[in-house]
Amino acid sequence: IPRKRFGQNFLTDQAVLYDIIRAIDPQPDDTMVEIGPGLAAMTSLLLESLKHLHVVELDRDLVARLRKNFAPQRLTVHEGDALKFDFASIVPAADRKLRVVGNLPYNISSPLLFHLTEIAPQVQDQHFMLQKEVVERMVAEPGSKTYGRLSVMLQWRYHMDLLFVVPPTAFDPPPKVDSAIVRMIPIAQPLACDAGKLEQVVTKAFSQRRKVIRNCVAGMFTENDLIDAGVDPQLRPEAVPLEQFVGLANRLGL
């Protein structure tokens, strides 16, 4: 019986499952971790290509099931909360990086994406099923209505693509919303900036979307600070590109 509190919507549509596996394109020697394997619909298909896979699952009953159904040589089951899991504890072979996949529990998707930014330099790529609306915010460009904190903070560190949309009917039970598959590839050299400062600036800037940026960040920056960072003080925050937010963050506390 699926548990609502764990965000359990199990993927049952075989065609969609194969589309996801094809997008991930698992290779035998990859070091991969799947978040929230659930009943192992993706897990089994991934293991058709991979020699070995790590999974992180919170639900104790599902953990027991996974341990019973898969040999430990093939599947390492980490029981626990992905939000607290130390992904750096999975060390890929020399000259390789970690691959992260999952049909994520939607109630924890933002904090989980932020938790994973901590290991971005050790990651090759991430493929996730998320709420379509969240993926749209992740990939939104300046000027679009959905461009905001999530867009700026994640676009600073990742190239991201919405690969395809998945309807509620692909799941059991069906979620209330459309889903989408996103591919995230860490940027080798993100613009130099302190993550905490960028977060502070972006959070403040988007706290009042309908005001112009000068008013949103009043108290944090003067109009001259904005001009020095190349920001037009009259713009709405959703029109300010990433580089300019980085410029502002690098001015914070000077």
Distance CA 210, CA 229 (A): 21
Amino acid at 143: G
**Nearest to ligand SAM of 7, 237 (CB atom):** 7
Q: Does 138 bind ligand SAM (CB under 6 A)?
A: no
Task: Looking at residues 64 to 93 of the shown chain, list those that interact with ligand SAM (rule: CB under 6 A).
Answer: 81-83
**Burial class (CB within 10 angstroms; exposed 0-12, middle 13-18, buried 19+) of 152:** buried
Q: Which stretch binds ligand SAM (CB under 6 A): 3-11, 179-187, 228-236, 243-251?
A: 3-11
Is residue 92 exposed (0-12), middle (13-18) or buried (19+ Cβ within 10 Å)? middle
Q: Does residue 154 interact with ligand SAM by CB under 6 A?
A: no
Smallest gap from residue 98 Cβ to ligand SAM (A)? 16
Nearest to 180 by CA among 167, 171, 169, 190: 167
Q: Which is nearer to ligand SAM, 57 or 136 (CB)?
A: 57
* Residue with Cβ nearer ligand SAM (59 or 136): 59
Using CB under 6 A as the binding rule, the residues of this chain from 97 to 136 that contact ligand SAM are: 103, 105, 108
Joined together, the tokens standing for residue 14 give: 């075989």
CB atoms within 10 A of CB 139: 21
Contact criterion met (CB below 8 Å) for 42 and 103: yes
Closest-CB residue for ligand SAM?
36
41: helix, coil or strand?
helix
- Asked if residue 173 has a cis previous peptide bond (ω within 30° of 0), the answer is yes
In the complex, least distance from residue 85 CB atom to ligand SAM, rounded to whole angstroms: 7
Q: Is 170 in the site for ligand SAM (CB under 6 A)?
A: no
Instruction: Work out how close the CB of 250 gets to ligand SAM at its nearest, in angstroms, rounded to a whole number.
Output: 34
Answer for which of 26, 36, 148, 190 binds ligand SAM (CB under 6 A) is 36
Q: Provide the phi-psi class of 219: left if phi over 0, else alpha when psi is between -120 and 50, else beta.
A: left
Among 16, 46, 62, 217, binds ligand SAM (CB under 6 A): 62
Q: Which one, 41 or 50, has the nearer CB to ligand SAM?
A: 41
| Cα distances (Å, whole numbers) of residue 77 to 20, 87, 226 | 21, 13, 49
x/- letters, 7..26, toward ligand SAM (CB under 6 A)? xxxxx---------------
CA 220/CA 222 separation, integer angstroms: 7
Binding of ligand SAM by 63 (CB under 6 A): no
- Of 21-29, 58-66, 113-121, 146-154, the segment contacting ligand SAM by CB under 6 A is 58-66
Residues lying near ligand SAM in the complex (CB under 6 A): 6-11, 35-39, 41-42, 56-59, 62, 81-83, 103, 105, 108
